[in-house]
């Protein structure tokens, strides 16, 4: 069987790589190199299928197979989410066969963790995810008063009478008198299961007086609709690939709907904060995580870092990497398909058949440039 990445043996250092007792200082090692991997379409295809190339690459980079004298830092950046980072990390570690540390996974909502510090002691409406999974994400970020739409419906079913709470939902709602609760923000953390309900509740809050349901902002007038509640989205993907062959609508489509309704009611642009790929906040946060990881493994965390983003989506992975000054590797194992000679909407540094070939090229490239 051809295992192309094993030519890394010759590429990275020399034939002695992997032998016990090798000192990194005696061989060229790409010290400035780091990788950021998208998950879906790069490491995995569909919900459960981990690509064998991905396993081999992560074993190599993490140093767990002994072929590198020290690990090459990497992290995973996904626009997915909806479960606490720790849970997702445990699942991915198991699936991918490498132990991921807390600095090696950025879900769409992970950068929000530090942004929402200011809302720690304030009520926040959490949108998206199954059941109360995103409430648990919010709690894991230190938010003390995260409420979900089902809590609001349980308080006043007439606020949205198109759907009734299921018995399961009734079991986890927090019974509260929301006539006295002043929401500071609405935080969309994942795809929502009930767009009508959630758009209505978000618009209610944006037009409310001090974030209280059932109120209107004082002096409310359609040309002056700026509300008291901040609106935050974790992911801007309009479409995404599930196991269904045709792309499905994602959180970006949900945001577009709210923007259009808001505009038609007020004539104004919706004020919101956006996280996720390809936005700067997510790449800044990821670079910070890579440096924290280097510190964690006792490596220089302040030096120059040459990050290579490996992704399958030109619109998110590649656009974001290019904007952030990272190198970018577009793979053919996901949404991007150039069988028909199609050019990517955002030009990567290189197009590669898969993650293994891409990583091999990047290591070679760093050595070629003398970055060791
Ligand atoms: Mg992808």
Full 3-state SS string of 345-363: CCCCCEEECCHHHHHHHHH
pLDDT digits (tens, 9 = 90+) for 95-150: 999 999 999 999 999 999 989 999 999 999 999 999 999 999 999 999 999 999 99
User: Dihedral (C-alpha) 302, 330, 72, 366: value to the nearest 10 degrees?
Assistant: -80
The residue ranges of every structural domain in the chain are: 112-274
If you measure from the C-alpha of residue 64 to the centroid of ligand 1, how many angstroms do you get, rounded to a whole number?
Answer: 25
More confident residue, 20 or 350: 350
More confident residue, 287 or 15: 287
* pLDDT beyond 80 at 269: yes
* Torsional sign, CA 120, 121, 122, 126: positive
If you measure from the C-alpha of residue 149 to the centroid of ligand 1, how many angstroms do you get, rounded to a whole number?
Answer: 29
CATH code assigned to 112-274? 3.40.50.1000
CB 240 within 8 A of CB 248: yes
Could you tell me the pLDDT band of residue 223, with boundaries at 50, 70 and 90?
Answer: low
If you measure from the C-alpha of residue 313 to the centroid of ligand 1, how many angstroms do you get, rounded to a whole number?
Answer: 6
If you measure from the C-alpha of residue 83 to the centroid of ligand 1, how many angstroms do you get, rounded to a whole number?
Answer: 18
* Torsional sign, CA 130, 136, 138, 143: positive
Q: For residue 158, what are the contacts with CB-CB under 8 A and spacing of at least 6? A: none
Return the pLDDT at 70. Answer: 87
If you measure from the C-alpha of residue 237 to the centroid of ligand 1, how many angstroms do you get, rounded to a whole number?
Answer: 11
pLDDT digits (tens, 9 = 90+) for 303-323: 899 999 999 999 999 999 999
If you measure from the C-alpha of residue 303 to the centroid of ligand 1, how many angstroms do you get, rounded to a whole number?
Answer: 29
If you measure from the C-alpha of residue 160 to the centroid of ligand 1, how many angstroms do you get, rounded to a whole number?
Answer: 35
Residue 18: closest CA among 73, 59, 54: 59
Could you tell me the pLDDT band of residue 222, with boundaries at 50, 70 and 90?
Answer: low
CA distance 34 to 45: 23
Residue 36: closest CA among 331, 321, 346, 367: 321
If you measure from the C-alpha of residue 331 to the centroid of ligand 1, how many angstroms do you get, rounded to a whole number?
Answer: 10
If you measure from the C-alpha of residue 332 to the centroid of ligand 1, how many angstroms do you get, rounded to a whole number?
Answer: 11
What does residue 121 show for φ and ψ, rounded to 5 degrees?
-105, 20
Strand partners, 330: 311, 351
CA distance 179 to 158: 14
If you measure from the C-alpha of residue 368 to the centroid of ligand 1, how many angstroms do you get, rounded to a whole number?
Answer: 29
If you measure from the C-alpha of residue 333 to the centroid of ligand 1, how many angstroms do you get, rounded to a whole number?
Answer: 9
Could you tell me the pLDDT band of residue 267, with boundaries at 50, 70 and 90?
Answer: confident
Radius of gyration of the chain (CA): 23
If you measure from the C-alpha of residue 62 to the centroid of ligand 1, how many angstroms do you get, rounded to a whole number?
Answer: 21
pLDDT digits (tens, 9 = 90+) for 136-183: 999 999 999 999 999 999 999 999 999 899 999 999 999 999 999 999
Strand partners, 240: 248
């Amino acid at each position: 069987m051809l295992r192309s990445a094993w030519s890394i043996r010759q590429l990275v250092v020399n034939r002695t790589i992997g032998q016990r007792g090798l000192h990194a200082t005696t061989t060229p090692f790409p010290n400035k190199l780091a990788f950021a991997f998208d998950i879906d379409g790069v490491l995995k295809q569909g919900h459960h299928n981990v690509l064998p190339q991905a396993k081999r690459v992560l074993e190599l980079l993490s140093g767990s197979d002994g072929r590198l004298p020290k690990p090459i830092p990497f992290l995973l950046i996904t626009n997915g989410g909806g479960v606490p980072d720790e849970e997702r990390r445990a699942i991915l570690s198991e699936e991918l066969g490498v132990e991921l540390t807390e600095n090696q996974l950025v879900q769409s909502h992970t950068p929000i963790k530090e942004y929402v510090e200011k809302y720690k002691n304030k009520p926040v409406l959490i949108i998206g995810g199954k059941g109360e999974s995103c409430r648990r994400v919010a709690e894991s970020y230190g938010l003390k008063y995260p409420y979900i739409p089902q809590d609001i419906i349980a308080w006043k079913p007439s606020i949205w009478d198109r759907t009734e709470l299921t018995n399961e939902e009734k079991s986890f709602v927090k019974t509260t008198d929301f006539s006295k609760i002043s929401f500071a923000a609405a935080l969309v953390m994942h795809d929502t299961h009930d767009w009508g309900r959630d758009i209505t509740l978000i618009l209610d809050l944006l037009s409310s007086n001090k974030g209280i349901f059932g109120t209107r902002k004082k002096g409310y007038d359609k040309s002056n609709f700026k509300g008291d509640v901040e609106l935050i989205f974790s992911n801007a993907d309009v479409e995404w690939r599930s196991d269904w062959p045709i792309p499905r609508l994602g959180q970006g489509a949900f945001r577009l709907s709210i923007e259009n309704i808001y505009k038609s009611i007020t004539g104004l642009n919706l004020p919101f904060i956006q996280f996720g790929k390809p936005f700067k906040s997510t790449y800044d946060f990821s670079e910070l995580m890579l440096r924290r990881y280097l510190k964690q493994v006792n490596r220089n965390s302040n030096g120059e870092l040459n990050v290579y983003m490996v992704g399958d989506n030109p619109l998110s992975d590649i656009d974001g990497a290019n904007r952030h000054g990272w190198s970018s590797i577009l793979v053919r194992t996901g949404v991007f398909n150039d069988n028909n000679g199609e050019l990517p909407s955002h030009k990567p540094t290189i197009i590669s058949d898969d993650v293994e070939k891409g990583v091999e090229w990047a290591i070679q490239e760093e050595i070629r440039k003398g970055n060791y």
